[in-house]
Amino acid sequence: MQKDKRRGSKDAQEKVRLLVVDFLKKKKGSQQECSLLYGLTLNGVQKIWYRYRQKGSRGLASKKRGVQGGKKINGKQAAEVRQLVKEKLPEQLKLSFGLWTREAVQQLILERYGIELSRWQVGRYLKSWGYTPKSLLPKPLNKILNG
């Protein structure tokens, strides 16, 4: 059984991409055979071959992973948003939401700091700050729902 090549280091992945291209350029076999040989999916081999045909060897180079430039909002901004979510309702901040949701926090960050975040990014921030969907409810409503 082949080891999953998607989990290797950037250098190891780049070497596999070069081997795939060499295999296909020299017509040593089909893309299907190449995928079996190097432990990749057929779709993965096809993507590598497409990138090579479009950009040459440059298209095979490893790129930086993760968010480029770090977090989008800084620590001071994050602390202010956490404080506002904890102490205020969206209505009190003139937002068009009755309760705190990812979308409400997204709008708050956009209006306060001019930073556009996706709903998913906001969700990850809220999770990292210790918020859950239930913990975003106002305390009186949370008591009613939790009895």
Distance of CA 94 to the CA centre of its chain: 30
pLDDT for residue 1: 46
Cα–Cα distance measured from residue 85 to residue 132, given in angstroms and rounded to the nearest whole number = 12
User: Which carries the bigger pLDDT value, residue 8 or residue 111?
Assistant: 111
Tell me what percent of the residues of the chain surpass a pLDDT of 70: 81
Contact between residue 89 and residue 99 where contact means Cβ atoms under 8 Å apart: yes
Residues 8-47 have pLDDT tens digits of 788 888 999 999 999 999 999 999 999 999 999 999 999 9
pLDDT for residue 69: 58
Instruction: Please report, for the chain, the start and end positions of each structural domain, with discontinuous segments joined by +.
Output: 5-60, 75-146
Q: What is the pTM (predicted TM-score) of this model?
A: 0.50
Mean pLDDT confidence for 61-88 = 82
Distance of CA 4 to the CA centre of its chain: 21
